[in-house]
Each structure stands twice: as structure tokens, then as C-alpha cells.
Structure 1
Amino acid sequence: MDLRKLEAFLTVANTGKYTDAADKLFISQSSLSKQMAQMERELGVKLFKKTRNGVELTQAGFDFYSYVRKMLPEYHCAADRLQMYREGGTYPLRIGSLPLAEEYGFANAFSSYWARNTSVQIDYFERSQKDLIDKLDRHKIGLALLRVDMLDPDKYSYVPLILDEIVIACSTKHPLSAREHVGLAELRNEEFILLEEKSDVTQIFRRACENQGFYPNAPLHHSRHRMLIKAVQNNMGITALPRRLVSTYLADDLAIVSLKQPLYSTLGLVWLADEPLTPINQKFIDYVCTDFNVNSGLEG
């Protein structure tokens, strides 16, 4: 039985559907079904039983799940540590980031770390928050630069790095552009262009609007903030984004308006709470925290 089958088993167990698990693993549903059937034959027990909505673990499957969920992180951690003993070997650092490293200055911190640690083998990914969390859960990356406002503290540990204010961005042709501050209730009749619905920024903003008695009218969503800003510049509506994502553009046709009731979002480096940090991951976190004048709170 290889590690890929164990990772596939965890994915099926966590999603409860072969179709969803296959999408996450980037394999066909038939291939995944064959892997799980082969695993059941090798173990001599049924791991899953069918339900109306998909599959669920049998009692044997649940016992096996409890073991695999602990074993896989320990294996990956041990494998990473053993690489440090290889003669001339490189130390692995697998990290993912939201597509905003340049706007927040992380690109400089990351590149300066890599320049000073040439023995570290870097695997770097830029993805959405949902994709990065999935990679963390499946142990494809050890660290991720994410928004931490809505993370489950029992499942994820993190070091907060930057607190950013959520503001309104609009075209200089929009009436709001003449304002320094605006109340949320005044935005009731505006048309918004927002980040995807599952984005922490969108959820924070939407909940604040609902507390003011309205649901923001947002006919257009996009996963990338750069596309939202372009749409705002073309007078397609207004948007709510962290200030740093807007101010770095320095565009003459773009205005930033603060909210009278401030909203904030926090970026941080995130890892699985039940997975011990490798020395390389901890060293990287300490380096970035020093660069941003933040206390990591981690003990070496």
C-alpha cells in the first residue's frame, strides 16, 4: 500500500463523495474507486458504505481513518527531517500563498530568505484560500500565507503578520469618491463587485452589511482582486477590499473611501495544528516574522 492510496483514502473520508475527492486529487472517479477497492482487498475489510448522498466510513474505516490521519503527517515530517542528513542534500520547504505577495511585501521577504538559504529546496504555489487549505489538509504544503479571520483554531495554527483595513474602492467618477468616510448603511443601493463568495474579505463585509439591515447587491464576483480593481476603474461598480490591495495601484482614476465602522482582515502564516513544524518551516516563519517585526511566539 503506497502513500498516494492513503492520501486518497483520507480525501474520500473527508469529502464523503468520490466525485468531490477525485476533483481534489485530479484523478478520474473510476481510478479513485479502483484504488479504494484495492485498499479494501489488501486490508480484508470494508472501509466505506454507500449512502444516498455518497459514502461514509464503516466502523473499521473509522478506526483506520484515525490511524492514517495521525500517521501521514508524522511520516511527511520524518521524511523532511531525514533529508537534512543526506550528503549534499537540500531541505524541503513547501509553501503556498494567496496571490498578493507583492502587494504586502512578502515577495521581498521570501526572495531574501531564499537568497540566504541556498540549501533549501523551495516549492512555492499561488492559489485561492480554498485551494491552499485543501493542500494543507492533504499535506502537499507545510505552510500557507492565508487570511486567518475564519480559520478553525482547533485545526490550524498560525502566526498573524499583517492587519489590514477593509475599505471601499470606487472610480473617481463615482459620487463616493468625494467622501473621506462612508457608513455601511449608506451603501444599501450600491452595486458591488466583490471577491468570490467564500473569500474571508467578502464574508466579513457581507456580515457587516447584514448587521446594518441589507444584503449587498453583488452581481459580479471574481477570485482575483486585480480584476475587481480593473472593473471598478471601468465604472462597473464599487468594491470592498483591504486597503493595501488597492493603494499599491496608485491609479489616478481610483478612489479609496474609509468605512465609518472599520472592518479588518488579518494575514498570517498557517500550518496544521496537529502537525509538528519541521526545523526548516520554523526557521522560515522566524525569518519572515523578523522581517515584518512580528513575534512568532514559537520556541526553537
Structure 2
Amino acid sequence: MNIQQMRYVAAIANNGSFREAAKKLYISQPSLSHAIKELEKELDVQLFERTRQGASLTSEGMDFFQYTQPILAQVELLENRYLANEENEKHFSISSQHYDFLSIMISQLVKDFPDYNDFRIFESTTLNVIKDVEQYRSEFGILLFNDSNQAGLSRLLENGELDYEILTTFQTHIFMREGHPLATKSVIELSDLHDYSQVRFTQETNNYTYFAEDLIDFPGITQVIHTSDRATLTGILQRTDAYGSGSGLVEDPRGQGIVLIPLANSPENKMVMIKKKTRKISAIGEAFLTNLKKYFIDFQETQKNKKK
């Protein structure tokens, strides 16, 4: 029994058939079938029920699958840690909360680094982004820091042996539909919002407020609508007089029928890059950071010119 056979079992279980698993593993179906038969012979158990519809784990197979998952996870962690710095590797991965600028940055990298054959953008929740970088799956993570979450997130980063660098600072913005009663205001006061519903983006199902991406939260809100999907959040804003809050780093809000208005006297927010302390920044990583910092400078300059 070896690691490769464990991976074969996981691939078949996850894909529901030997044929689909063989495609994902880039091996022939007969080779995969032979490897599983050898493993079943060695273990003296039947791992899969084979039918015309596909393959499913037997009860013994399910036990084997569950026992091997922690092993495969540790192997992946070791590979990410010690194989990530190979000179011949042509892979770049970042993880982040959801932001429009990611597509712009990666599109530029694809043009500037045509010899790279694998790009990964992992957009997820705050905790998953931290774990992704901590476990060497991504070179960088992009997160939002504010007065409410910075202390808690800093502790998590320290525990994971992660550093962070501030990329830009920004003012909290209120999002609402173009025809909203407040849409013509140049600045929003907190008192303006008390009569309106708030749409909040919900992440991990826990009570840690420092995982929240919403930048304002105050008592006395008329109604709160929680959603874990960005498109749903935007759809609600388009169809109601509810509002949301965020960074304001949105490429084309008007194209979505949304306006972004600065919130008066809002505390300073930070967009930060997180990385493993022991991980050297690659050449493509340096290019990514340079392009991203320039994007933030240009974006804020454009916003200033619009206000003149």
C-alpha cells in the first residue's frame, strides 16, 4: 500500500467512476483498475462496488477512504511546503476575499508570464484564505483589516507564522441602487441609514466578528438581510432600498446599477497581503505585488479626479 494508491481511491470516490477518475489522474483506465485490484488483494477487502452506472465505496472502502484522508492532507502539506520553491515550477496561486481587481491582476500576469502554465485564484472566506496561505497552497493572501478585526486577525496570522504588509488604505463606502433616496448625496452619515435595511455578507458560521467583511455595524438597524453570495447581495441592492458597505474598490458599479458613496468619519481600513514568514517571494509574486500597488494608487487617483 502506498500514497499513490490512496490517491487513486480518493479520485474514484470523488468522481464516481474509474473512467472519470482516470481522466483526472492522467492515466489509463486499465492501469487504474489494475492498481485498485492490487490494493484490494493486498488488503483482502473489496473497496468498490462496480456497476454500469459507475463505482461506489463499499463499507470497507468507506472506512479505508476516511482513514486515508488525514494522511493525504499531510502529504499535500509537505509537498506544498517543500516542492513550492522548485526553480522549474511554473505555478502561481493567490487566495483572497472577493474583489474585482483580482481578475485584472491575474490577466496581466498571464500576459507577462506566458511560460507559466498554471494560475490559481482561490476566492473564499477570511479563515480559508489564512489557512490556504498557512498551508503553502498560495503564495499570497489578500485580506481586509479594520479597527474591529485587526487584533483578532493579527493573532491568527501570528499563530500561523504569517506576515502581513499593508497595500493600501481606504474609506468605507456605502453601496445602494442608483435610484435610492440617498443616492444623490456626496457623503453618507450613519444617521442617514437608520431607516433602511442593511444587507450583510456572511462568511464562516461562527461568532467571531473579526471574520466579517462588512465595514459598519451599529445597533438599531431596522432590518438585516444576511447572504453568503455576492451576486445575491448585489441583486437585493438593485431591487430594494437596502444598503451594503465595503471598500469601494469596484471597477464598474454603474454597470451593476449600484452607486458607491463615502461614509462620513469612517475609520481607516486597510487592504493587506499575507504570506508565510519562511517563504521567499517569487519573481512572479513580486510582479503581482508591484502591479497591485500601482492599481491601488491609480484607482484612488481616479476617484479623486471624479470628485473635482
TM-score range, shorter chain: 0.5 to 0.7
After superposition, give the CA deviation of every residue in 1:37-63 in whole Å (9 maximum; x if it has no partner): x98xxxxxxxxxxxxxxxxxxxxxxxx
Question: How far apart, in 2, do the equivalents of 1:267 and 1:164 lie?
Answer: 8
Cross-structure match for 2:248: 243
CA distance in 1, matches of 2:197, 2:62: 40
When residues 173 and 272 of structure 1 are mapped into structure 2, their CA distance, relative to the original with a 3 A threshold, is same
Q: Which string of whole-angstrom CA distances, capped at 9 and with x for unpartnered residues, describes residues 203-254 of structure 1?
A: x312xx2xxx445731232332x43222211125221122123x62224953
How far is 1:118 from its partner?
A: 3.3
CA distance in 2, matches of 1:196, 1:2: 37
Unmatched segments (≥5 aa) in structure 1:
6-27, 40-67, 295-300
Shift of 1:258: 2.2
Answering whether residue 113 of structure 2 is matched by residue 117 of structure 1, we say yes
Find the aligned partners of 2:257 and 2:76 in 1 and give their Cα distance. 51
Q: Supply the AA of the counterpart residue of 1:97.
A: S
Q: Mark the runs of 5 or more structure 2 residues left unpaired by the alignment.
A: 7-60, 205-210, 295-308
Residues 108, 4 of structure 1: alpha-carbon distance in 2 compared, 3 angstrom cutoff: farther
- Listed as ranges, the matches of 1:181-196 within 5 Å are 181-196=187-202
With the length of structure 1 as denominator, give the TM-score of the two structures. 0.59
Which position in structure 1 is the counterpart of 2:183? 177
Matched, 1:277 2:256: no
The corresponding residue for 1:50 is: none
CA distance in 2, matches of 1:134, 1:30: 27
Judging changes above 3 Å, is the alpha-carbon distance between structure 1 residues 292 and 254 closer, same or farther for their aligned structure 2 residues?
closer
**1:186-208 superposed Cα distances (whole Å, 9 cap, x missing partner):** 42332111211555422x312xx
In the other structure, the counterpart of 1:34 is: 67
SS in 2 for 1:136: helix
Aligned position for 1:76: 80
Q: Which has the larger radius of gyration?
A: 2
Q: Following superposition of structure 1 onto structure 2, how do residues 147-296 of structure 1 map, counting pairs within 5 Å? A: 147-149=144-146, 150=149, 151=153, 152-154=156-158, 155=160, 156-198=162-204, 200-202=212-214, 204-206=215-217, 209=218, 213-214=219-220, 217-224=223-230, 226-235=231-240, 237-245=242-250, 248-251=252-255, 253-273=257-277, 276-278=278-280, 281-293=281-293
* Cα pair distance change 1:236/1:222, threshold 3 Å: farther
Contact 2:238 2:257 (C-alpha < 8 Å) held by counterparts: yes
Secondary structure at 1:181 match in 2: coil
Q: In structure 2, what is the Cα distance between the partners aligned to 1:153 and 1:131? A: 12
Tell whether the 8 Å contact from 1:128 to 1:223 is kept in structure 2 after alignment. Answer: no
Q: Distance in 1 between matches of 2:223 and 2:5?
A: 44
CA separation in 2, counterparts of 1:223 and 1:166? 20
Shift of 1:288: 2.4
Counterpart in 2 of 1:94? 93
- Asked if the contact 2:175/2:246 (under 8 Å) is kept, the reply is yes
Percentage of pairs with the same residue: 9
SS of 1:201's partner is: coil
| Alpha-carbon distance between aligned partners in 2 of 1:242 and 1:216, rounded to the nearest angstrom | 23
Alignment TM-score, normalising by the size of structure 2: 0.58
Deviation at 1:146, TM superposition (A): 2.8
Letter of the structure 2 residue corresponding to residue 118 of structure 1: P
CA distance in 2, matches of 1:32, 1:182: 55
Does the CA-based 8 Å contact 2:176-2:241 persist in structure 1? no
Count of residue correspondences = 223
Q: Alignment partner of 1:286: what SS?
A: helix
Q: 1:285 to 1:123 in 2, by over 3 A?
A: closer
Return the alpha-carbon distance in structure 2 between the equivalents of residues 288 and 253 of structure 1. 30
Shift of 1:127: 2.2
